[in-house]
Structure 1
């Protein structure tokens, strides 16, 4: 959209940045700071909370300010591996890594599958697992240990299941009944509270690790949106943002910390133009899903041949062979997809006809927001 505005296709409207300089302003806290988590490991700090973030939380609590901590993953860990054979514990219906829950069981983030208290490895039947990575519950556990007197709440899919749970949490935070709020993306937008003095992004690296051409853009947006929860209108002072990462030299993290949208846009458009990604091309994502693996292979291969023949005499159309998406199986149904890229403004009629004549079961996504 910004690209189209620059080209004159859309009208660009810009909001001026708030310049807050209240009497209580402390210039030492008016900044975004990147914390290198490698250095935390060097000093034997293995908590997801860095020493710097911990001290800033202490400062916020002392001054009766609220803190928002953003981590884009729920549970106690990212995945769990068998201590015996090193096999990742996976959901049998989705083949995705199960997430350890603080109730002592493992759950699938994509379906309702959960293990019993005594989970077993699918390969060696071992029952001892090592939990790897971070999640909202692990952050909550450490914060409760560090700040036993603080009022701490968690906002993720697991804790927001009950009707009106999110609106109740929102009201409690607005009323000052919560000191520290830990959450996923649901707390990075529309949380406009002047008493938020600190925002911590627990694991910025996790936002970048997706094999998608919009991965950097989404990471930049998430960091900017999370950081924007502080420095609101009527705030006591502009506040502090802590970004934790194992890669402090990453250009996306540095540009987001600077709030430098123009430079990010310039770099991103150069890369996309070189690789032929939108906005310099258009995409069509075709997805076929079924419980029968042989049927999926046969159907996607046949569709690929038809589509390839449809664009054989057309310039600037590319159709690579079918491939598995990032999550190839959900609730027992397998997926395979075909991506079509082209530089024309409109879809060629011959190609459109070939797409419309595909067999039942295909999902057609024109100009998809993601190719994974």
Structure 2
């Protein structure tokens, strides 16, 4: 246990010793002129560093003290002046909060999108309407093309059916004629060889054949007329389809141009961009107004503070909440007092370092009178730098 205590005790002593400057000559051969001079120079450097640090600390100490004095001046202001300052400070607080909220809120669009929309803002609404109209027209034209294509398909199918019916009609007519001829031959043979009276048979055959041929002819002519009508309609559909296709191509080319012009792929996209642009523009303008108001209020605060002979008015722009919020003022005062205490501690430390180093130099000169002139020359030279 004693071993660990010694080990850690030694470590703590070393760490605490880092804050201490020891001007010890025990390990230096002071009879050596060179080492003696280097020791004095080391002390002079300590004095120089400590002096520079003391100057810096004094400046900072004066600044902190000035802040505290300004704070007391503000707290001691007449009620009317204090109320005026508090009103300005509250305005600055609100404007700063708006600034922070705006900065932390994601933008509705990128700067690139905003710049693009700003360039076409004057014609964006017209572009949306034009794109919407052309897209609706495109849908209508495509619907017309689909309907025409369906009708053409139906007419093609019907034309093939009518063509088959015409072929069938011709076939039936041939069959009817052949059948009539066969019946006539049979009747003739019966009349010649069997001496039968087949006159009625002739009449019936001729009558049936005439009726059949007449019906077939009527049907055939109906099919011919229907085929002509179908072909005429089909041709009309082809012409109409070509006309609609031309409209479709023109519409497509126009849409491609408009998409390129507005750098979008649809009217919906342009509308979304424009809607977001209007909102973003409103937000940015509000932010710009807020920033302008913030500059105005801070300038007003600085004028008021200077008129009240506050030495460091700029500081209060960044801690304006303390002007109207007593808790903030207490916190600021506590921080300043803490800073001043630390500065005082640093000042005392460096004064002690400078004093010890000065005493060391004097003691060395006193102990080694034979080297006094040389050492004083070193001191004077160092003091000139």
Tell me the TM-score normalized by structure 1: 0.21
| Greater C-alpha radius of gyration | 2
Question: Of the two structures, which has the highest relative contact order with CA contacts closer than 8 Å and spacing of 6 or more?
Answer: 2
Greater helix share, structure number? 2
Greater strand share, structure number? 1
